Amino acid sequence: MRTTIETAEILTPIGRVILVAHQGRLCGVGLGREPEWVRHVTERRFGEIEWVAGDDPAGAASALERYFSGELQAPDSIPVDPGGTPFQRRVWSALRDIPVGQTCSYSYVARTIGAPKALRAVGAANGANPVGIVIPCHRVVGVGGDLVGYGGGLDLKRWLLVHEGVRLPPERPHQKRLGFLA
């Protein structure tokens, strides 16, 4: 039996973004260089898929267009179904509670979900987030506000945080620029 997945592509200031939804809930976001990744993750989760082009899967296309135009809370209204393990879902739920314009540490997320020693597991769940931007894993930073670990690259993470009004510490010499945005 094939699962119907609605998909759309939007062009944004950060490049193209691929959106996939199942039964009216966003289940995947591919940022620029990740269209094959989001396809792979979706197929691994749902098996055989019937891909259907849509204009606005789960309302995500219009909400993200508003987000990139400055309505920063717009993604909060997008219904999501990221799948994942119970632990991952707890982490992802906590990430959606991080307010726009703020960041927190991995240890804060671990404490929030009641697993204060699970820093690495929180980091792994953050990295496995299939619904980037909407589940704002970019708002989780390292000790002292260092930008660490983002699937789309640290330049993209920096861009998203600055777009949301986060004041970032100056880059340190050990933070390698990845050249995402000139």
**Where in the chain are the domains?**
3-77, 86-163
Beta-bridge partners for 20: 7, 28
Residues recognised as catalytic: 137
Name the phi and psi angles at 80, rounded to 5: -125, 155
Other C-beta atoms closer than 10 Å to the C-beta of 6 total 22
The average confidence (pLDDT) of the chain is: 89
Establish whether domains 3-77 and 86-163 are of one fold.
no
Fold annotation for 3-77? Double Stranded RNA Binding Domain (3.30.160)
Closest by Cα among 143, 151, 60 to 103: 143
Q: 86-163 domain in CATH 3.40.190.170?
A: no
Query: In tens digits, what is the pLDDT along the chain, a chain of 182 residues?
Result: 899 999 999 999 999 999 999 999 999 999 865 677 888 889 999 999 999 999 999 999 999 999 999 999 999 999 999 999 999 999 999 999 999 999 999 999 999 999 999 999 999 999 999 999 999 999 999 877 788 878 788 889 999 999 999 988 776 555 444 333 32
pLDDT tens digits for 36-61? 788 888 999 999 999 999 999 999 99
